[in-house]
Amino acid sequence: MPDINMHLKEFRIFRQITQEELASKIGKSKNVISNWESGLNRPDVDSVENICEILHVTPNQIFGWEPLPEYEHHKRYLKDIEQKREAIRKELEEKQMQLYKLDAEYKLMLENSTQEPGKNAFKEGTKMIEPFTIGQPHRNEQHDKPKSN
C-alpha cells in the first residue's frame, strides 16, 4: 500500500481541517489521525473512503496516484509566496546590516565629540572644529582685533 500519510496530512491542511475535526467526522480519535499522518499506522479501507469524502478527494489522489489540480495550483502559489518572502527577508537582512553600520559610525562620532555643555565640537586629527553658527563668526577663525597695550 502506498504511503497515504503525507497526502492525508497535506490535503487535510489544504482543506483547513484540524486532526480533531477529521477524527470527529470519521469517528476516530485525534491520536489515530496523528498516527496515520506520521506513518505509524494506516487507515482501513472504510476510513479511507470516509476521509476522501470529507477532504473532497479520490482514493487515487489520497494515495498519490493522481494529482489534485486545485492542490497543485495551491502548492505553486505557496512556492511563489515563499520565494517572495525569502527575497524580502534577504533585503531586510541587508537593510539591518546597513543600520548596524550607521549605528557604529554614529557611536564612533559620539565618542570622538566633546561633551562640554554648550559645545558641539568634533575632533579632526588633533585640531578641534566647532560648528559654525549663522550670523556669528566661526570661533576658530582669526579676526583682526585691536591690540591692547
Q: Give percent above pLDDT 70 in the chain.
A: 74
pTM over 0.85: no
pLDDT at 93 over 80: yes
Average pLDDT over residues 35-58: 94
SS3 readout for the chain: CCCCHHHHHHHHHHCCCCHHHHHHHHCCCHHHHHHHHHCCCCCCHHHHHHHHHHHCCCHHHHCCCCCCHHHHHHHHHHHHHHHHHHHHHHHHHHHHHHHHHHHHHHHHHHHCECCCCCCCCEEECCEEECCCCCCCCCCCCCCCCCCCC
